[in-house]
Amino acid sequence: PLPVVAIIGRPNVGKSTIVNRLAGGKDAIVHDQPGVTRDRTYRRAYWCDREFTVVDTGGLVFDDDTEFLPLIREQAMAALAEASAAIFVVDGQTGPTAGDEEIAEWLRTQKVPILLAVNKCESPDQGITQAVQFWELGLGEPYPVSGIHGNGTGELLDRLITYL
């Protein structure tokens, strides 16, 4: 079986966009509406000579108790349980939020290696400034990326495959 990489993070940070970029093709659902991907979606991906399965999740939400959120949280936790590594996606345009802090706090208690992807960093210069804000999450080096344009994903994947 291929190693599994879980993609987690708050709704609307760009998880599904990043999954599409890693996996290619067009079969994952990406919508502008937050929280659309409620179930886990499995896609085949590869980088260099490593092949892996990437799992999109609906997003971890700890501070909102609307009806479907416990289900989303459960899905994300299940995805992490079966993962060799995880990419925690945050939004470089908003900076760290209370929701990111809550998720990070939980992730720091997990044994799975976590890579921190700071998405929506289209400009290389701004990207560094956006990314450094996320050191405070205590998850190591923040990687500036743009799911839409592809910037930075090579560096992220180079690091990712060292864990697979």
Q: Which does 11 bind (CB under 5 to 8 A by kind): Mg ion, ligand GDP, none?
A: ligand GDP
Pick one of 6, 11, 72, 103: the residue that binds ligand GDP (CB under 6 A). Answer: 11
Pick one of 5, 6, 8, 13: the residue that binds ligand GDP (CB under 6 A). Answer: 13
Q: Are the C-beta atoms of residues 18 and 145 closer than 8 Å to each other?
A: yes
Q: According to the binding rule CB under 6 A, does residue 154 interact with ligand GDP?
A: no
CB of 17 to ligand GDP, least distance (A): 4
Residue 40 phi, psi (nearest 5):
-75, 135
Contacts of ligand GDP in 29-68 (CB under 6 A): 30-32, 34, 37, 59
The three-class DSSP label of residue 28 is: coil
- Contacts of residue 152, Cβ cutoff 8 Å, sequence gap at least 6: 121, 127, 143, 144, 145, 146
Q: Which is nearer to ligand GDP, 16 or 53 (CB)?
A: 16
From 10-18, 45-53, 107-115, 126-134, give the range in contact with ligand GDP by CB under 6 A: 10-18
- 26 annotated as a binding-site residue: no
CB of 154 to Mg ion, least distance (A): 22
Q: According to the binding rule CB under 6 A, does residue 2 interact with ligand GDP?
A: no
How do 41-47 and 4-8 pair as beta strands?
Answer: unpaired
In angstroms, the CA 123 to CA 22 distance is 20
- The region, left, alpha or beta by phi > 0 then psi within -120 to 50, assigned to residue 152 is left
Q: Are the C-beta atoms of residues 119 and 78 closer than 8 Å to each other?
A: no
The residue assigned the tokens 């345009």 is 93
The three-class DSSP label of residue 43 is: strand
Contacts of ligand GDP in 90-119 (CB under 6 A): 119
Q: Which residues are annotated as a binding site?
A: 9-16, 56-60, 119-122
Q: Which residues are annotated as a binding site for GTP?
A: 9-16, 56-60, 119-122
